[in-house]
Amino acid sequence: DADVTQTPRNRITKTGKRIMLECSQTKGHDRMYWYRQDPGLGLRLIYYSFDVKDINKGEISDGYSVSRQAQAKFSLSLESAIPNQTALYFCATSQGVQPQHFGDGTRLSIL
């Protein structure tokens, strides 16, 4: 089983819909992150959480919100999806300042 699991793996939806992407981990790591990847732009940080009561905005948080429901779960929401949020979304975890471990991503298409 994967240590960092993202659901769904693929999602197609329409403009204006609310969407939630979920991430769960079995590694017991305290820190969790959400990134988006666009062709030619690399990964950009959306939100990160250092523990259950800690949520921080990243580089591109506008239009997104997150919830850290438990140490093992970190969800990303798009309240009203727009086409330029079409991208590949990755969740990652780390224990303290150790290197990050990534899930296999959610491919999101907004029509």
Q: What are 62's two structure tokens?
A: 């506008």
**How many CA atoms within 13 Å lie on the side-chain side of 10?**
0
Minimum CB–partner distance for residue 15 and other proteins (Å): 26
Q: Return the number of the residue (42 or 62) whose C-beta is nearest other proteins.
A: 42
Q: How far is the CB of 16 from other proteins (least distance, A)?
A: 28
Q: Which stretches of the chain bind other proteins, using CB under 8 A?
A: 4, 31, 35, 40-45, 48, 50, 56, 58-59, 90, 92, 94, 96-97, 99-105
Nearest to other proteins of 45, 52 (CB atom):
45
Kindly state the smallest distance separating residue 24's Cβ from other proteins, in Å: 14
Residue among 111, 88, 83 nearest 6 (CA): 88
What is the spatial distance between Cα 64 and Cα 48, in angstroms, rounded to a whole number? 12
Query: Can you give the C-alpha Rg of the chain in angstroms?
Result: 13
Nearer to other proteins, 75 or 105 (CB): 105
Least Cβ distance, residue 56 to other proteins (angstroms): 7
Q: Who contacts 23 (Cβ-Cβ below 8 Å, separation ≥6)?
A: 4, 5, 6, 32, 34, 73, 74, 75, 76, 91, 103
When the beta carbons of 5 and 77 are compared against other proteins, the nearer one is 5
